[in-house]
Structure 1
Amino acid sequence: MRTNEAHESLLVVRSLNVKKMPDDWTDTFESHRERLHALAYRMLGEIQAAEDAVQDAYLRWRSVDLETVNDPGAYLTTIVTRLCLDELSSARAKRETRYTGPWLPEPIVEPMDRPDRAAEQSDAISMAMLVVLETLPPRQRAVYVLREAFDLPYADIAPILDESEGYCRKLAQRARNRIDERDVRSDIRPTEQNQLIQDLMTAIETGDAEAVAETLAEDAVVTSDGGGEVTAARRPVEGREHITRFLLGIAEQVPDDFALNYVLVNGQPGVLATVDGKPQSVWAFHVRNGQIQNAYAVLNPDKLQHVAPSPGSGFSSPGS
């Protein structure tokens, strides 16, 4: 699926005579749009790709005879899932040959109105979970997302993937086993995670290596995604000592107009770094046993296009 083609298609739709688009037809799709986007984002890990998948589904939907569709929600879910499966397969092949360094999902960044707001976002999916989903075969990922995130019964999932109900159960179990192995679920309250992140940033700012190390698990990992567009570590940095040196080294190179903002990243406390008020990187964290187990740094400018700049956005800065 190519972004330019999707945008051109959107222009075609907008140019159509409104009289040719029945209100019940349009309204039905719009009532499912948010859910379809959530599905596509969990399948693809990219905001623009998810929007393109939903738009493609919209274009297909407008040619459907509504009288032949008994369950619009199931019909649209099937379309989007299959579009995502096709896109996922081709996208992974491109990344393996063309992408520079680690690939991370595109973050969803929101203002930190209050740290405990993260607990209210039951529909959010953490960066850590998205990273693990990337390791699953596409059909396993689809079954897991449909079952765990959208609570679809296996009897409904089977026709979407054109598989038997029993086989879908097996795919879901394999996915759960993989996810359980990675242990990506957080065991800390959002307010506590936010404080831990602030402690880390303060320690980095003051150059306190011991304090930095105290926030990190012994086997912590930092993964950076620059996509070859900006300078970033091309391999994950592993281990408390290596990460401490890595983070303190970065701090020595930041420009004068560099600023940190505490935000929600995929529904969990994280950090937005800006330069001259423009997004420079987004940091997401996975915390276990009171220490940072994984940090994910998204620096690729293409993945920060949906991130609002900090001035006037309601983001909270250190010390504010």
Structure 2
Amino acid sequence: MEKKNFWADRFEAERGRLRAVALRMLGSQSEAEDAVQEAWLRLERTGGGDIDNLGGWLTTVVGRICLDMLRARARRREDPIDGEGGEDRHAYAGAAADEQAALADSVGLALLVVLERLAPAERLAFVLHDMFDVPFEEIGRIVDRSPAAARQLASRARRRVQGLPDTLSADYERRRNVVAAFLAASRDGDFSGLLAVLDPDVVFHADADAVRLGSLAEIHGADAVATNFKGKATAARLALIDGRPGLAVILGGELRIVVRMEVEGDHIVAIESIADPARIAGFEMEYL
């Protein structure tokens, strides 16, 4: 009992900050409370014994819970700010007057409306980094990306929040052109063309589902990656995956594989092939 009270007291000390994180992520008071409560339940289940940094651990857990909730909301096409029906129609409308004022001051309805336009991963990266100073290394673990990719998510979200151009930016066009060149070279069996856009130390990874479909699990180096992709990608098409250029592989009329690419300069430094249906369902996809 004393141990449980110890963790309960430490959790209560973090509750206000966790609720603020969840509120900015979700824009809904009730959903924020649900996310924080779920974090407490997960802490209870772990017993807390192996947690060295409770604040960081709880922030990560709340972030993942909110990300799942945002992705589920996107799949249901819900809008918690101006959507139809339910308590989310106006997130703060049912709160007490003092809570309404606090929510408007700390979040701002205008900001919530803008945040609703971001992809879930962008929203998480922007909120955690720009509002709560969470390191990109930790954000990357939450969204299953590298720290550099997490930084790019936050940067893109920041431009959108500030009303600056995004998809027409020179950076976007450069990345899109690199991925398009890779796709064309792969389809044409152009080995030299593939080498031209691959970093010499490029790394390819495939998840377990992609391996079951015939992919190699891991490949290192430009020569090996180019050999693997030469003459392939006939079923692939360019796509925006969480706002970043990549490839979508359509088989039998269905999206079966998502290929994410990290581009630095004019070269691809990392490629990830994802065939796990649950992960694919969580991506924001736009075909180009």
Q: Could you state the TM-score of these two structures normalised by the residue count of structure 1?
A: 0.44
Greater RCO between the two (CA within 8 Å, min separation 6)?
1
TM-score (norm 2): 0.48
